[in-house]
């Protein structure tokens, strides 16, 4: 699904990301872990063609992301608030994304209905614009919006941060369900090792821009990661 080849990003002589080879297969659920500055967001930005690679390339389904836009219909991402349109109400935002992804209003409504408990009655029909919602509630909107239109690849940067405990549990459930779906590849980054090991089938740990661990999740994974990061 995703293929990174010799991928490098250098800012003023400092290599912030260097991935000689990374192959992510369809249906995998990847947890990307690492400290601040490990290159998680840089990798996502390269994947979404938001920054230019210094060297190498990323392909989504054999499409080089900086040469064609054909990957866009397959991919949904939520990295930060800059993926939200502040002057829309949550409903309008969902419908907007739905229209872009070829979904009609009923499709979107059905999806929203399915995730009603995730919203915890704080999002819909509140007569508020997205810019006036709290950080946590904004995040809920962004996350659910990535599910619209059955994308084949979902990218979430730090989805657990800023969420209240109950919502974190619910989010884990959603991600696990997606992970079970063999047609959906999901990429989640997090600082929280426990959350990540719970929801992912494969863990990629980054440190200072390099892949330092690439393991399939098992009973020992959490211990192994904790040992690695406890310096």
Query: Contact residues for another protein (CB under 8 A)?
Result: 48-52, 69, 72-73, 75, 77, 79-80, 82-89, 91-92, 95-97, 99-102, 127-129, 131-132, 149
In the complex, minimum distance from the CB of residue 97 to another protein, in angstroms, rounded to a whole number: 7
Which of 48, 203 has the CB closer to another protein? Answer: 48
- State the minimum distance, in angstroms, from the CB of residue 231 to another protein: 31
Q: Which residues contact 42 (CB under 8 A, 6 or more apart)?
A: 9, 16, 17, 51, 209
- What is the distance between the alpha carbons of residues 218 and 27, in angstroms, rounded to a whole number? 17
Nearest distance from C-beta of residue 56 to another protein, angstroms = 16
Q: Return all residues near 212 (Cβ < 8 A) that are at least 6 apart.
A: 205, 206, 228
Beta carbon nearer to another protein, 184 or 211: 184
Min dist CB 151 to another protein, Å, is 9
Measured from the CB atom, is 89 or 217 closer to another protein? 89
The residue among 145 and 205 lying less far from another protein, judged by its C-beta, is: 145
CA atoms 194, 196, 198, 203: torsion sign: negative
d(CA 108, CA 94): 7
Dist. CA 56–CA 9, nearest whole Å:
9
Please tell me the distance from the alpha carbon of residue 87 to that of residue 57, in angstroms, as a whole number: 35
Nearer of residues 96 and 229 to another protein, judged by Cβ = 96
Q: How far is the CB of 213 from another protein (least distance, A)?
A: 27
């Amino acid at each position: 699904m995703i293929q990174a080849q010799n991928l490098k990003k250098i800012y003023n002589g400092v290599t912030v990301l260097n991935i000689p080879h990374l192959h992510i297969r369809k249906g995998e659920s990847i947890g990307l872990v690492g400290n601040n500055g490990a290159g998680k967001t840089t990798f996502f930005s390269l994947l979404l063609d938001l920054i230019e690679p210094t060297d190498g390339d990323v392909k989504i389904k054999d499409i080089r992301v900086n040469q064609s836009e054909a990957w866009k219909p397959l991919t949904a991402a939520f990295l930060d608030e800059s993926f939200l349109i502040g002057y829309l109400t949550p409903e309008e935002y969902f419908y907007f994304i739905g229209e872009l992804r070829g979904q009609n209003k009923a499709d979107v409504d059905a999806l929203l209905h399915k995730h009603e408990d995730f919203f915890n009655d704080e999002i819909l029909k509140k007569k508020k614009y997205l810019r006036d919602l709290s950080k946590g509630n904004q995040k809920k909107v962004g996350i659910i919006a990535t599910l619209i239109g059955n994308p084949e690849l979902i990218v979430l940067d730090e989805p657990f941060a800023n969420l209240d405990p109950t919502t974190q549990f619910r989010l884990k459930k959603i991600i696990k369900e997606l992970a079970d779906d063999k047609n959906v590849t999901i990429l989640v980054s997090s600082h929280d090792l426990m959350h990540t090991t719970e929801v992912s089938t494969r863990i990629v740990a980054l440190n200072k821009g390099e892949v330092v661990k690439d393991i399939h999740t098992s009973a020992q994974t959490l211990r192994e990661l904790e040992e690695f990061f406890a310096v």
